[in-house]
Structure 1
Amino acid sequence: MFAVLHIADFALHAVLRTEPVLGGRPAALLDGARKKALVLAATAGARAAGVEPGMTAPQALARCATLMIRTPQPAAETEARAALLAVGFTLSPSIEDTAPGICTIDLKGVDTKKLAPAAHAAVTGLVQLGLPATAGIAPTPLLALYAARIAPPNRSRSLNLSRSSSEKSPTACAADDRNRARALNRNRSPAPSITSTSKITSTSNRETDAASFLSPSTLNSQLSAPNPVLVV
């Protein structure tokens, strides 16, 4: 079994946790201070007001006049990453810094009866550190990632392959990711792929469109693969 701790909009929340006085005010992260900088991520309050990734700052402010605008802070991301990994180590000594805001954990040898309570405690710990998080538990790293992505805010979820018809499937999440990636790629250059730091997961070391990693065929292949590969 594997677990994934996931912090959505990691760069944004890494910055916001350094400014607790902002409380729940609507906020967005821009990809720089240039005139035509684009929104990379927005809080739930900002999204409710109509702010979406890909907008320019003027467009975002036109929809939410009280919007707090921030830019990425590498130092804040380094601190948040350290916090995420520290919490990951409370679940198992075998963890991987898979991607910004994603920690993959190999649960081999961990008592299965303790998995759910431990995952819940890990999420609670991250929330207390100012990092809204979710956790997923599943037979493979990729499925654990999608379990984390479909978990309710600040909660954990175990992925059962015999889902009810009303539950959003991992393949549906993959489709959402592909559409989101394509929308961002129209305005930004493709980001380099992530190189794994351990044997838990692996990806190509060439630059690749993020959407291609999230195809249903890639996801479905994980269900039968003897040695699962996580691509994010």
Structure 2
Amino acid sequence: MDEVEVVVAHSERATLRVGDVFLKVDADRTRIDVEVETMSLAPVPTPQVLWHKPPVLALAAVPGATLGRLGGPSTGSPTAWAAAGAAMRQLHDAPLPPRPGRAGRSIVALAAELDAECEALVTNGVLPADLVTRNRQVAEAALRPWTPAFTHGDLQIAHVFLDGDEVTGVIDWSEAGQGDALYDLATFTLGHEEHLDDVLTGYGADLDLDVIQAWWSMRSLLAVRWLAEHGFDPFAPGCEVDVLRSRM
């Protein structure tokens, strides 16, 4: 008999695995609806929807394995990383979905959120002031006009599955929508900067590396407190705080 595996669980959402079926439970029903809609529009492999009864979504497992995880060793050949980059380009070139996603927040709103979070990190003694100040400076490069693209919005390395050098599935689409393509690229390579060139080779475009680095700092600054408050450890080796330290 299959056991129930808790993949991730916190106050906002939980994902369980039972055999080859994933059950996603989300307190925000809109995120589940967005996930189903955007998977139907995405031009890359996505999990099969078995059934959808808000607030629960049942998905079939995708074949293959990820290239690693944040804070852990990375695997896969340069060709595999390039294949992930090519899949991202295919997604970003697709017709736009109907609504903004997490990667599509306005510059004004994002700057205000970033400044408030930096102040909280320092005031509450979570991170040293010099570390926050330096990364806030780096993050500034991400606050610029961008052309909307079809973005995943949470394209962590653990969300892209490959079999050999072929992408077999991209999971967790609840943050998808119109947004900044470089946000996806930065999220995928966060903590695995050594593979950025391989990803860009597959992506096949000249991109502003300063903006990708800015998103590394931005995403990490905005995530540290939330992760710590929801049972994750951003201070673990290779994770968000180490990403921030690498900018010093």
Query: Shorter-chain TM-score: what band?
Result: under 0.3
Name the structure where helix makes up a greater proportion of residues.
2
If the length of structure 2 is used for normalisation, what is the TM-score?
A: 0.23
If the length of structure 1 is used for normalisation, what is the TM-score?
A: 0.24
